[in-house]
Amino acid sequence: MHDDTRSPFHAYLKELHGRFRGLDAGAVADYIPELAKAAPESFGIAFATIDGHVYSTGDSTTAFSIQSVSKPFAYGGALERLGASEVLRKVGVEPTGEAFNSIVLDQQNNRPFNPMVNAGAIAVSALAEGDTHEDRIEGMRALFSGFAGRSLDIDEAVFRSEAETGHRNRAIAYLMLNTGMIDRPPEEVLDLYFRQCALRVTAEDLALMGATLANNGVNPRSGQRMLAPEHVRDVLTLMMSCGMYDYAGEWSYDVGLPAKSGVSGAVLAVLPGQLSIAIWSPPLDAIGNSVRGVATCRQISQDFGLHLFMNAASVEEVVRRIAHADRQSSLRIRNPRERDLLASHGGRIALVELQGALYFASAERMIRQLQPLAAEVDYLILDTRRLNSLDPAAEAFVDRFLAGTRDEGVEIAVAEIASRPADAAAALDRLADRNGLRRFDTADAALETYEEMLLEKIREPFDFSRFSLSTIELFKGLDDAQLKHVEAVIQPMQFEAGDRILRRGAEGHMFFVIARGTVSVLVPTGSETAMRIGCIGPGQFFGEMAVLEGGARSADIVADERTICYGLTADHLETLGHQDPRILSTILTNMAREFAGRIRRGNDIISALQ
């Protein structure tokens, strides 16, 4: 598990906490004496993602009573047990425009207006199932524990305080009994309702409960399905229209997230398919909502465009694949010594293929995957060829991640920017400019460059002033006398950068061994630009297939830089074979060994892609 304190999301929450900590408006609820004991300065924030990861800051692990934030979950539990049609007979779905503890009821339909006000929540408590009252209490506690992913308990002091002072709720309950809206003894129903409101939770608990709703009813940590998708829809709909009491309309307009508040100072907001936000801060405004909670949620929504009607995406897996250079090397053909070094040290180079769309929640998941990776490598390559979009929220967090990673000394490159849609390309260019990232046309070019940088650090220096055949792998195993025979027939050649050494389709009479420099293997693509499918460096050979088979060249070979080669023809090989058959057999054996190595590396790349 990586250190969340280094995450840009954690850093953002800390900044947010610092910004609103000094907001001292509002007052702690005192109509329930036990709630009046809460410290006004208490303030905790937690995010939870749909895969169960929680970011938090401040007093996010301090327990408090859940109060009215319990109402959506109790309502969801009733839907799950009884079905929507049965619950609708007892509780409506219309906003009231009244205070949360209003005694106004829907007399036309003989039911409370909705389950987010006290009357509706009491009616939901009257629907609890169980043979005894104790069974119903335990069933309620088990339901909420399932949403939270841990066993929750009841704050007995808060329960007693509510039970002793909840006279308005008693009036509501008896009125509903009188009209037949409930059919259980009011004191028994209220006992269950007060205990439900007195459940002890933390901001982190609430965030995970909200993430269960965001995750279509499945607790993202336990995997337990708490609600069917259609019941999640119903719960979130009522949270959107009724969850913030008579502030619900302005909340929907400004913040645009399904939410529920409670008089203990909690606010829970849910972005379906992505995440949930939980805030606890006891001072309330005149409506009964947490002052810091409302301000914080509004700021988060504005900062990252989380309004539900601006962002209907679900989190997808943005990281398509992660590979390391010890398993997937570049297309450059290397000598055995370099291959051994990359096999041992190539894990210090990581290639990350990105795909789809980056927005708030998908960027969080991507960064969470990349942070531990970045701590283990020296070079990081982001292949963006399948990345289609990058919104401002994602750009802000990716920017923080890249800056922090660069500060840790990691070299970062981004590939394939030019091939992206215009908006995504512009965002990637801004990220590259701000963070000093290297740009490459292809991921392979970036991989080859970082391989060279890594090899430069760890391999023994090569004396380029000497071109001894004995240092070349193709002639390994030949003694001094045999090497002199080779030197007598081999043809030294020099090419400048950009020179075409071999042309596709031409007859092959000579193959080449590189002593210094590199060449690229190019094939046509149907456009004006040829595709680079390989790179060959010192000690390697090319052009041998046409010579051995007597056919035409299958690709163009172009010098990347000043390159010195040795040329050998089929006639040269025949001459060497007559002079000493062991020369020819050794060269062919070394050639076959290299062919086998290339096939093996190709298989490794294919395996890594699966």
Buried b (16+ CB within 10 A) or exposed e, 1-10: eeebeebbbb
Burial of 415 (0-12, 13-18, 19+ CB in 10 A): buried
Token representation of residue 114: 């909705």
Tell me the CA distances in angstroms from 556 to 230, 491, 553, 588, one per residue in order: 60, 21, 8, 24
Q: Can you tell me the distance from the alpha carbon of 201 to that of 60, in angstroms, rounded to the nearest whole number?
A: 10
Instruction: Give me the residues paired with residue 556 across strands.
Output: 522
Token representation of residue 61: 């692990």
Q: What is the DSSP letter of 530?
A: P
Instruction: Yes or no: say if 211 and 50 are a contact pair by the CB < 8 Å rule.
Output: yes
Q: Can you tell me the distance from the alpha carbon of 220 to that of 212, in angstroms, rounded to the nearest whole number?
A: 6
Question: Which residue out of 7, 42, 65, 68 is catalytically annotated?
Answer: 68
Tell me the CA distances in angstroms from 578 to 252, 485, 507, 511, 548, one per residue in order: 90, 11, 25, 19, 17
218 belongs to the catalytic site: no
Question: Which residue out of 55, 193, 359, 566 is catalytically annotated?
Answer: 193
The distance in angstroms from the start CA to the end CA of the chain is: 26
Number of neighbouring beta carbons within 10 Å of residue 224? 13
Question: Which residue out of 54, 158, 235, 263 is catalytically annotated?
Answer: 263
Question: CB-hemisphere CA count at 13 Å for 388?
Answer: 6
Where does 307-442 have alpha helices with state H? 336-345, 360-374, 392-407, 422-435
The H-or-E segment that residue 144 falls in is helix 133-148
CA 218, distance to chain mean position in Å, is 19
585 belongs to the catalytic site: no
Question: Which residue out of 71, 189, 255, 520 is catalytically annotated?
Answer: 71
12 belongs to the catalytic site: no
Where does 149-202 have alpha helices with state H? 156-165, 167-178, 186-197
DSSP-derived 3-state class of residue 132: coil
Which distant-in-sequence residues (6+ apart) come within 8 Å of 404 by Cβ?
6, 8
Q: Can you tell me the distance from the alpha carbon of 65 to that of 200, in angstroms, rounded to the nearest whole number?
A: 5
Q: Can you tell me the distance from the alpha carbon of 362 to that of 53, in angstroms, rounded to the nearest whole number?
A: 13
DSSP-derived 3-state class of residue 532: strand
DSSP-derived 3-state class of residue 398: helix
193 belongs to the catalytic site: yes
The 3-state secondary structure of 51-102 reads CCCEEEEECCCCCEECHHHHHHHHHHHHHHHHCHHHHHHHCCCCCCCCCCCC
Instruction: Give me the residues paired with residue 565 across strands.
Output: 493, 514
Instruction: Give me the residues paired with residue 542 across strands.
Output: 512
245 belongs to the catalytic site: yes
By DSSP bridging, strand 349-358 and strand 266-271 are unpaired
Task: Show the CA angle centred on residue 158, arms to residues 154 and 160, nearest 5°.
Answer: 100
Q: Can you tell me the distance from the alpha carbon of 513 to that of 495, in angstroms, rounded to the nearest whole number?
A: 13
Residues involved in catalysis: 68, 71, 193, 245, 263
